[in-house]
């Protein structure tokens, strides 16, 4: 049985999260309980491209037949993602990670080495209690982080995810490119995504299977899917 319908709400201000404790600044983090469907899309006007995603299919297969989960979505609050996840009986926490990266560091990954800025970034975006989330849709956000910020972010996510929870992340599979297109993501259904371009961005480092297994070394398993678009879709189990 799906949970009772609840009214969606924004975190009121910096220092408050969904549970009433410390959290993200107002307007950055959005929490929508299961059964609530009100949100303002943050998607770009360009027509999105639709494609199948084995990673997304695997993510939803792993949490099938379960309701009442807390899911972190780092693509920003979009109506499609909110509608889909709440229709399954889950609660969604939305963060626009690309906007947060620009606000904290600018567009140059070399700026992502300052410990105080990294700490600010983590407090702004991930100020939740340990074992808060049952799943996280990271999309392509991690590939634009330099090593220091990336490792700190993955460590923080490890603390926030509950045991046996799942992460979904996308990485460009080309080893020699220095810039790749960033995207905003809509969920079409449990195996279809709609991508809208957000502009070219410099990649901070090379991501291959070996590097990703090392990056997620604290997690239980890492599984890869390589697409025709040279996109490496990664499912990680806490």
| Range of lowest pLDDT (33-37, 60-64, 96-100, 228-232) | 33-37
Inside any domain, residue 37: no
Reading the block at residue 183, the tokens are: 């995207």
- The sheet with strand 133-139 has its strands ordered as 9-10, 30-32, 91-94, 70-73, 133-139, 161-172, 231-237, 221-226
Q: Give the total residue count for the chain.
A: 238
Which comes out higher in pLDDT, residue 106 or 37?
106
What's the pLDDT at 12? Answer: 32
Average pLDDT over residues 206-218: 90
Inside any domain, residue 22: no
Inside any domain, residue 1: no
Q: How confident is the model at residue 31 (pLDDT cuts 50, 70, 90)?
A: low
Instruction: Please count the structural domains in the chain.
Output: 1
Per-residue pLDDT for 187 more than 90? yes
Which comes out higher in pLDDT, residue 10 or 91?
91
Average pLDDT over residues 51-59: 93
Inside any domain, residue 152: yes
Average pLDDT over residues 65-69: 91
Per-residue pLDDT for 154 more than 70? yes
Q: How confident is the model at residue 18 (pLDDT cuts 50, 70, 90)?
A: very low
DSSP code for 216: T
Inside any domain, residue 53: yes
pLDDT digit string, tens, across residues 34-54: 443 334 444 444 577 898 999
Question: Containing domain of residue 179, as a range?
Answer: 45-237
Inside any domain, residue 222: yes
User: Which residue in 131, 37, 129 sits closest to 88, CA to CA?
Assistant: 37
CATH of the domain at 151: 3.40.50.150
Inside any domain, residue 223: yes
Helix ranges (DSSP H) in the chain: 54-62, 79-87, 97-105, 115-125, 147-160, 209-215
What's the pLDDT at 46? Answer: 57
Which comes out higher in pLDDT, residue 5 or 60?
60
For tokens 């995810």, what's the residue?
161
Q: What predicted TM-score, i.e. pTM, was given to this entire model?
A: 0.79
DSSP code for 3: P
Inside any domain, residue 29: no
What is the chain's mean pLDDT, rounded?
81
Burial profile 26-62: b = 16 or more Cβ within 10 angstroms, e = fewer: eebbbbbbbbbeebeeebeeeebeeeebebbbbbbee
């Amino acid at each position: 049985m799906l949970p009772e319908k609840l009214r969606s709400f924004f975190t009121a201000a910096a220092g408050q999260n969904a549970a009433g404790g410390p959290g993200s600044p107002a307007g950055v983090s959005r929490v929508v309980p299961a059964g609530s469907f009100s949100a303002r899309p943050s998607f770009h006007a360009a027509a999105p491209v639709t494609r199948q995603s084995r990673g997304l299919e695997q993510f939803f297969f792993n949490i099938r037949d379960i309701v009442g989960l807390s899911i972190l979505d780092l693509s920003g609050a979009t109506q499609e993602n909110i509608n889909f996840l709440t229709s399954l009986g889950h609660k969604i926490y939305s963060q626009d990670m690309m906007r947060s990266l620009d606000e904290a560091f600018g567009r140059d990954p070399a700026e992502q080495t300052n410990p105080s800025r990294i700490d600010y970034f983590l407090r702004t975006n991930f100020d939740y209690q340990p074992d808060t989330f049952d799943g996280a849709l990271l999309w392509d956000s991690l590939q634009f982080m330099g090593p220091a910020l990336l490792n700190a972010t993955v460590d923080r996510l490890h603390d926030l995810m509950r045991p046996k929870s799942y992460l979904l992340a996308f990485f460009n599979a080309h080893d020699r490119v220095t810039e790749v297109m960033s995207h905003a993501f809509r969920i079409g259904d449990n195996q279809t995504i709609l991508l809208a371009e957000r502009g070219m961005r410099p990649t901070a480092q090379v991501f291959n299977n070996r590097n990703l297994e090392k990056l997620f070394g604290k997690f239980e398993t890492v599984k890869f899917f390589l697409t025709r678009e040279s996109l490496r879709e990664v499912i990680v189990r806490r």
